[in-house]
């Protein structure tokens, strides 16, 4: 399909472009700006006046709950949610049931996702078999099946020797290793940040040192093994300071923060709101503020949704027994915009955290809006505030701490490889169709 | 999202008793004053008033308990309510029924009040949020979070022996970290105007930033007990030795067990309290537990009047005077 996007405010964070441009798309690729290629006849013209046109968003953590956890969500529901959120590429953590530790599982997931013809899916291969932290997975086989990085979600393996060898093996083939910096013994039975809120509510606590000690271990092992490390979900100011220090020593280490930790603190747990039950836990105000600032100065590379669709049955339980996580892929853009507005930073800067910077972490050629790039595009109205309600979300998971909030940024169109894979329903009548 | 105090209705009257935190002093005093009126009932020959006749009270115990359940049962029966005891630790939950499904089923049997004990912090809040208006929830202990009727009966005991709150120095001694009793006591004491509340424990048994609850932290009984008017001992669970919180109950007793020598550091007229059941020789010496400064058995007696008061206030009937 050939598409002409008219009068949009093109923002390409990678090339620092923020200007009104006309975009022409043919053969799934972006053509040179402003003048149509010779012989170009648009099948479809999109009037993007007053809208932002940016690269399709890239989310470093979206759980599809397949295989094995289909009662929480399905590939269909979550893929639709992703493109409704403007997300065109995302990584899936391997914490499925069974975990993504065999090539067959990865191939099946990639195949099912490809058939839906929506966003590009990047399964994160399990670093150890069954994620048990004991034996290495067949990383090369998994890579051939479609895994470009390998991870161990939620906590570090107990056995650091296994972790070191997994890093060495991954480094042999230059595979990136994605780790969740949480020490399993220090986190133990904890469900909330070790601070005044957990003390008042009598919730078993997770100290900050569960994160910092894990980061210290990872940093020392990274020095030993020279592997590319990505830290998933930094939650504390002290942890972030350690990442800064490691980088100053020249280590290849990146990190991300979730939309939840960017906006919330343990105070938001209120009277035991199980929607705020997260791994890692929501920490203090000062931790949150350090994370918000760390994204501006580049210490944190990317924002992710940490999308975890969870059904009501497992949330309507006492806080400590409730399932962790929140739905989020449809809130990635609004909550990134909200953070940018609050920090008073320009769009071209803040959108980098959900486009070109996560692309670099994944090591993929994406997250740009330039001639000859794949036409993965998100078109949104930054002025349109909408209320987060269960019916406004396409994800099967409706549980999020942001329910009831008004957030900025409504996606109007999402394009993948030059095809319109999503357009917002309420604007359908206004579509200028041309043949 | 959940912001209004879930214990109070729109008129700021008590609709559930979930925790002593955030309750106005006036409500705490109303409960204590109402309990005073019930003291006469519990002491006379026919120990029954018809205030809750026809009401169904469900004791929902998801965690085993004999003492607390029994005192709630006696309190309800003295108010003429119908009491149904459910020991869910060995019934529905073991069949995998979800907590709120159990509550829905019992609500459909026209329950008027639930008395809930659960091993998880926040369980009573969850149930209170879920039940229909008009059904009241009393928290009989949720995880490490709260045990408000215990704290209220402790306040009742203190007032009976010490008359006032505003001139007292109170020490809470033992496993503060895991104790719902300690948390509820701290909030009740500070709300009622006790000027100095101390907690005494080794660092492994104190939660982070506990001083933010308005208490002074001590690790040493010798300094912590000096000039104290009220000593509130806590029960030490045997599991704390397995969890590496403490080396042994013997060492604990040596440094934190209440002996006559340590008690002598407090004021001569100090009273000794314990929520029970006691571990003699672990947190308290028998000589102290059975000594003249101990008010532990009074606590048990007062517990019934206080629980009657809470049930009566929740049901909208406030006084035993007229009966």
Do residues A234 and A257 make contact, with C-beta atoms less than 8 angstroms apart? yes
Chain segment A10-45, per-residue pLDDT in tens: 999 999 999 999 999 999 999 999 999 999 999 999
- End-to-end CA, chain B: 44
Residue B16 lies in a domain: no
Chain segment A362-381, per-residue pLDDT in tens: 999 999 999 999 999 999 99
Residue B200 shares a structural domain with residue B125 = no
Chain segment B37-85, per-residue pLDDT in tens: 999 887 788 788 999 999 999 999 998 888 899 999 999 999 999 999 9
Q: What is the rounded CA–CA span in Å between residue A232 and residue B184?
A: 38
Ramachandran region, residue A76 (left: φ > 0; alpha: ψ -120 to 50; beta: rest): alpha
Mutate to test the interface with A, among B116, B150, B207 (most CBs of A within 10 A): B207
- Chain A residue numbers touching B183 (CB-CB < 8 A): 200, 202
Chain segment A405-422, per-residue pLDDT in tens: 999 999 999 999 999 999
Q: Pick A319's closest partner by Cβ from B98, B122, B209.
A: B122
Backbone phi and psi for residue A152, each to the nearest 5 degrees, phi listed first: -135, 90
Residue B19 lies in a domain: no
Residue B12 lies in a domain: no
Q: What is the rounded CA–CA span in Å between residue A173 and residue A175?
A: 6
Residue B294 shares a structural domain with residue B152 = yes
Residue B8 lies in a domain: no
Residue B152 shares a structural domain with residue B296 = yes
Distance from CA of B242 to the nearest CA of A (A): 14
Q: Is B74 helix (H, G, I), strand (E, B) or coil?
A: helix
Do residues A378 and A88 make contact, with C-beta atoms less than 8 angstroms apart? yes
Residue B98 shares a structural domain with residue B118 = yes
Mutate to test the interface with A, among B16, B116, B121, B148 (most CBs of A within 10 A): B121
Residue B191 shares a structural domain with residue B74 = no
Catalytic site positions of A: 306
Q: Pick B118's closest partner by Cβ from A198, A273, A318.
A: A318
Contact map slice: B 27-66 vs A, CB within 8 A = none
Do residues A113 and A79 make contact, with C-beta atoms less than 8 angstroms apart? yes
- Chain A residue numbers touching B145 (CB-CB < 8 A): 201-203
Q: Which string of DSSP letters, residue by residue, matches B190-251?
A: HHTT-SEEEEE--GGGS-TTGGGGS-EEES-HHHHTTT-SEEEE-PPPTHHHHTTS-S-HHH
- Chain A residue numbers touching B121 (CB-CB < 8 A): 201-203, 272, 318-320
Residue B186 shares a structural domain with residue B279 = yes
Residue B93 shares a structural domain with residue B189 = no
B209 in contact with A at a CB cutoff of 8 Å?
yes
Domains and CATH numbers, chain A: 3-53+373-393+408-430 (2.30.40.10), 56-362 (3.20.20.140)
Distance from CA of A181 to the nearest CA of B (A): 22
Residue B111 shares a structural domain with residue B154 = no
Among candidate residues A39, A72, A47, A67, the one with its CA nearest the CA of residue A396: A72
A286 in contact with B at a CB cutoff of 8 Å?
no
Length of chain A: 435
What confidence tier does A238 reach under pLDDT thresholds 50, 70, 90?
very high
- Chain A residue numbers touching B213 (CB-CB < 8 A): 199-200
Q: Is A429 helix (H, G, I), strand (E, B) or coil?
A: helix
Residue B132 lies in a domain: yes
Query: Which pLDDT score is estimated for A425?
Result: 76
Mean of pLDDT values over B116-134: 95
- Chain A residue numbers touching B184 (CB-CB < 8 A): none
Chain segment A273-293, per-residue pLDDT in tens: 999 999 999 999 999 999 999
Q: Pick A316's closest partner by Cβ from B6, B100, B120.
A: B100
Do residues B17 and B28 make contact, with C-beta atoms less than 8 angstroms apart? no
Residue B210 shares a structural domain with residue B235 = yes
Q: What is the rounded CA–CA span in Å between residue A357 and residue A231?
A: 14
Query: Which pLDDT score is estimated for A429?
Result: 47
DSSP strand pairing (A87-92 vs A57-59): parallel
Q: Pick B213's closest partner by Cβ from A200, A270, A271.
A: A200
- Chain B residue numbers touching A200 (CB-CB < 8 A): 21, 183, 213
Q: Inter-chain contact A199–B209, Cβ cutoff 8 Å?
A: yes
- Alpha-carbon distance values, B66 to A35, A44, B59, B85, B140 (Å): 83, 74, 11, 11, 12
Q: Is B276 helix (H, G, I), strand (E, B) or coil?
A: coil
Average pLDDT along chain B = 92
- Total domains in the fold of chain B: 2
- Alpha-carbon distance values, B142 to B123, B179, B232, B247, B284 (Å): 6, 10, 20, 27, 25
Residue B165 shares a structural domain with residue B262 = yes
Q: Inter-chain contact A194–B208, Cβ cutoff 8 Å?
A: yes
Q: Inter-chain contact A202–B180, Cβ cutoff 8 Å?
A: yes
- Chain B residue numbers touching A401 (CB-CB < 8 A): 1
Range of the domain at B291: 148-300
From B209, which residue of chain A is nearest by alpha-carbon distance? A196
Ramachandran region, residue B241 (left: φ > 0; alpha: ψ -120 to 50; beta: rest): alpha
Q: The pTM is what?
A: 0.94
Do residues A401 and A264 make contact, with C-beta atoms less than 8 angstroms apart? yes
A275 in contact with B at a CB cutoff of 8 Å?
yes
B88 in contact with A at a CB cutoff of 8 Å?
no
Which of A328-342, A347-361, A374-388, B234-248 is least confident?
Answer: B234-248
Among candidate residues B272, B265, B231, B236, the one with its CA nearest the CA of residue B251: B236
Chain segment A161-180, per-residue pLDDT in tens: 999 999 999 999 999 999 99
Ramachandran region, residue B222 (left: φ > 0; alpha: ψ -120 to 50; beta: rest): alpha
Do residues A284 and A417 make contact, with C-beta atoms less than 8 angstroms apart? no
Say which CATH number the domain at B128 has. 3.40.50.1370
Contact map slice: A 322-381 vs B, CB within 8 A = none
Residue B47 shares a structural domain with residue B117 = yes
Residue B100 shares a structural domain with residue B154 = no
B21 in contact with A at a CB cutoff of 8 Å?
yes
The ipTM estimated for the assembled molecules is 0.93
A197 in contact with B at a CB cutoff of 8 Å?
no
Beta bridge pairs of residue A47: A6
By CB atoms closer than 10 A (0-12, 13-18, 19+), residue B293 is middle
A206 in contact with B at a CB cutoff of 8 Å?
no
- Identify the helix (H) or strand (E) that includes residue A286: helix A285-296
From A313, which residue of chain B is nearest by alpha-carbon distance? B98
Q: Pick B121's closest partner by Cβ from A196, A273, A318.
A: A318
- Chain A residue numbers touching B205 (CB-CB < 8 A): none
Q: Inter-chain contact A320–B210, Cβ cutoff 8 Å?
A: no
- Identify the helix (H) or strand (E) that includes residue A342: helix A332-343
If one compares A67 and A230, the residue with the highest pLDDT of the two is A230
Query: Which pLDDT score is estimated for B11?
Result: 86
Q: Inter-chain contact B145–A207, Cβ cutoff 8 Å?
A: no
């Amino acid at each position: 399909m050939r598409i002409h996007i008219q009068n949009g405010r093109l923002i390409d964070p990678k090339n620092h472009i923020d200007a009104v441009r006309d975009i022409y798309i043919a053969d799934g690729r972006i053509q040179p700006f402003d003048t149509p290629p010779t012989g170009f006849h648009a099948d479809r013209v999109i009037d993007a006046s007053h809208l932002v046109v940016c690269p399709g968003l890239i989310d470093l953590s979206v759980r599809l709950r397949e295989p094995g956890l289909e009662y929480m969500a399905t590939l269909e529901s979550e893929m639709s949610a992703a493109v409704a959120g403007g997300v065109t590429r995302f990584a899936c953590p391997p914490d499925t049931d069974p975990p993504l530790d065999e090539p067959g599982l990865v191939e099946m997931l990639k195949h099912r996702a490809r058939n839906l013809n929506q966003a590009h899916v990047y399964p994160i291969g399990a670093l150890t078999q069954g994620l048990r932290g004991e034996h290495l997975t067949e990383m090369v086989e998994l890579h051939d099946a479609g895994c470009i990085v390998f991870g161990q979600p939620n906590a570090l393996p107990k056995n650091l020797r296994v972790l070191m060898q997994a890093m060495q093996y991954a480094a042999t083939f230059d595979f990136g290793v994605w780790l969740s910096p949480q020490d399993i013994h220090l986190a133990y039975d904890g469900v909330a940040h070790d601070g005044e809120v957990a003390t008042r509510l009598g919730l078993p606590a997770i100290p900050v040192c569960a994160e910092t000690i894990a980061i210290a271990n990872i940093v020392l092992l990274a020095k030993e093994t020279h592997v590319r490390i990505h830290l998933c979900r930094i939650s504390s100011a002290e942890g972030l300071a350690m990442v800064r220090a490691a980088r100053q020593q020249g280590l290849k280490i990146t990190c991300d923060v979730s939309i939840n930790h960017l906006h919330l603190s343990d105070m938001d747990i209120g009277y035991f709101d199980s929607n705020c039950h997260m791994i890692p836990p929501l920490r203090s105000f000062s931790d949150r503020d350090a994370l918000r600032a760390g994204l501006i100065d580049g210490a944190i590379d990317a924002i992710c949704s940490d999308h975890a669709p969870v059904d009501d049955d497992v949330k309507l339980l006492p806080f400590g027994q409730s399932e962790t996580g929140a739905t989020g892929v449809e809130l990635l853009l609004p909550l990134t915009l909200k953070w940018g507005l609050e920090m008073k930073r320009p769009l071209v800067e803040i959108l980098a955290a959900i486009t070109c910077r996560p692309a670099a972490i994944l090591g993929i050629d994406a997250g740009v809006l330039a001639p000859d790039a794949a036409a993965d595009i998100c078109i949104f109205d930054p002025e349109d505030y909408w209320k987060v309600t269960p019916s406004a979300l396409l994800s099967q998971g409706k549980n999020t701490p942001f329910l009831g909030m008004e957030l900025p940024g409504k996606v109007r169109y999402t394009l993948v490889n030059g095809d319109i894979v999503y357009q917002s329903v309420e604007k359908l009548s206004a579509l200028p169709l041309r043949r | 999202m959940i912001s209004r105090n879930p214990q109070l209705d729109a008129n700021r009257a008590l609709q559930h008793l979930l925790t002593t935190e955030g309750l106005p002093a006036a409500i705490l005093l109303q409960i204590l004053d109402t309990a005073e009126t019930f003291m006469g009932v519990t002491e006379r020959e026919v120990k029954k008033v018809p205030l809750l006749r026809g009401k169904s009270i469900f004791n929902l115990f998801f965690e085993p308990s004999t003492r607390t359940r029994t005192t709630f049962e006696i309190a309800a029966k003295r108010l003429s309510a119908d009491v149904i005891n459910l020991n869910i630790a060995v019934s529905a939950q073991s069949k995998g029924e979800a907590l709120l499904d159990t509550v829905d089923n019992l609500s459909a049997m026209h329950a008027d009040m639930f008395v809930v004990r659960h091993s998880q912090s926040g369980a009573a809040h969850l149930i209170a949020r879920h039940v229909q208006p008009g059904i009241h929830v009393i928290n009989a202990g949720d995880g490490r979070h709260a045990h408000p009727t215990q704290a209220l009966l402790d306040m009742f005991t203190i007032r009976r022996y010490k008359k006032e709150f505003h001139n007292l120095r109170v020490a809470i001694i033992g496993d503060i970290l895991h104790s719902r009793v300690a948390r509820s006591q701290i909030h009740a004491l500070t709300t009622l105007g006790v000027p100095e509340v101390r907690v005494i424990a080794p660092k492994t048994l104190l939660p982070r930033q506990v001083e933010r609850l308005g208490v002074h932290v001590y690790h040493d009984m010798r300094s912590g007990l000096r000039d104290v008017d009220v000593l509130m001992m806590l029960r030490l669970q045997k599991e704390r030795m397995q969890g590496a919180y403490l080396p042994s109950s013997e060492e604990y007793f040596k440094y934190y067990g209440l002996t006559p020598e340590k008690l002598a550091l407090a004021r001569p007229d100090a009273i000794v309290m314990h929520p029970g059941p006691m571990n003699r020789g672990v947190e308290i010496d028998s000589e102290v537990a059975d000594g003249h400064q101990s008010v532990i058995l009074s606590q048990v007696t007062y517990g019934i009047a206080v629980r009657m008061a809470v049930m009566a206030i929740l049901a909208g009937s406030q006084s035993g005077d007229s009966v």
